[in-house]
Amino acid sequence: MGNALRFLCGQGFEPCTAGDSDSLGPLDISAVTIGVSAPAQGVEFELHTLPVGARGVVDGDGINVFVSTSDPRESCLVPLEVQVAALERSVAHVWGDKARAKELHKSIIAAGYRLIDVQNEEVLARKYRIRLRGIDAPEAGMPYGKEAKEELAKIVQGNCLRVHVYNKDRYDRCVGDVYCDGIFVQELMLKRGMAWHYKFYDQRAEFAEWEENARAERNGLWASPNPEKPWEWRRKNRRGGR
């Protein structure tokens, strides 16, 4: 019956750590030791995700991730109704009741969970919406919005992530520092000129330095002499901001 039954028995798929994947290949950046650029002070909890899916990257500073319910932190948080629905769906699959299985999966998704195929194993996982802390990438309708999203996808897609979560924003996203294969993702995005330092919400000096270096080298969006700031663009194009 897959991961759902083993989850209730205390077993299940073990997510890979953020340093397990070899898919990134060589990067023109030195690896950042976890904890150096993101001191543990203020971190509420840490997530270890499943590999980021093809549609996981929302934009240049947002990612949707899933965490296996076999994770020690997650295992005690799964609502009873989700556990029951996952088991009933497994039974429906055994009996070939596809309609019932589909209906049950919809209820699981509505509760913020999903059954995901990982290494030919069906894994019950919880969805988290992540907002990269301290950077602000161009919006989809702005110059370099598409490029920023593609750059982030190149870094994280298909890889497991480690996320240090500090808090939630008003959109109920987890605001955190993201690491992939020992690389501090915000550092890479800033150095490649794919985002601004969002100093209104994060005053880390290294972020300002990485942005300044990208400006000096005219990387990414800094090829333009006066790129529009995303928070100003949002103010003009819709109510509210991020």
Domain ranges for the chain, please list them: 15-71+127-237
Cβ–Cβ < 8 Å for 60, 145: yes
List the catalytic residue out of 89, 126, 131, 192: 131
pLDDT at 170: 93
Q: Which of 88, 122, 139, 211 is catalytic?
A: 139
Helices (H) and strands (E) in the chain, counts: 8, 10
Which of 89, 126, 133, 173 is catalytic? The answer is 173
Gap between the Cα atoms of 126 and 74, Å rounded: 8
Q: Does domain 15-71+127-237 have CATH number 2.40.50.90?
A: yes
Residue 66 confidence (pLDDT): 98
Q: How much is the pLDDT for 83? A: 96
Coil, strand or helix at 205: helix
Q: How far, in Å, CA of 81 to CA of 147, rounded?
A: 41
Q: What are the start-end ranges of the H helices in 76-156?
A: 80-94, 98-110, 145-156
Between strands 183-184 and 113-118, the pairing is unpaired
Q: Tokens for 83?
A: 């556990």
Residue 173 among the catalytic residues? yes
Q: What is the spatial distance between Cα 99 and Cα 220, in angstroms, rounded to a whole number?
A: 48
Is 170 tagged catalytic? Answer: no
Q: What is the C-alpha to C-alpha distance for residues 157 and 58, in angstroms, rounded to an integer?
A: 11
Q: Is 129 a catalytic residue?
A: no
What is the pLDDT tens value at each position of the chain, 242 positions in all?
A: 455 545 544 444 455 555 544 334 444 444 433 344 545 578 999 999 999 999 999 999 999 999 999 999 999 999 999 999 999 999 999 999 999 999 999 999 999 999 998 888 889 999 999 999 999 999 999 999 999 999 999 999 999 999 999 999 999 999 999 999 989 999 999 999 999 999 999 999 999 999 999 999 999 999 998 999 999 999 998 754 45
pLDDT of residue 238: 77
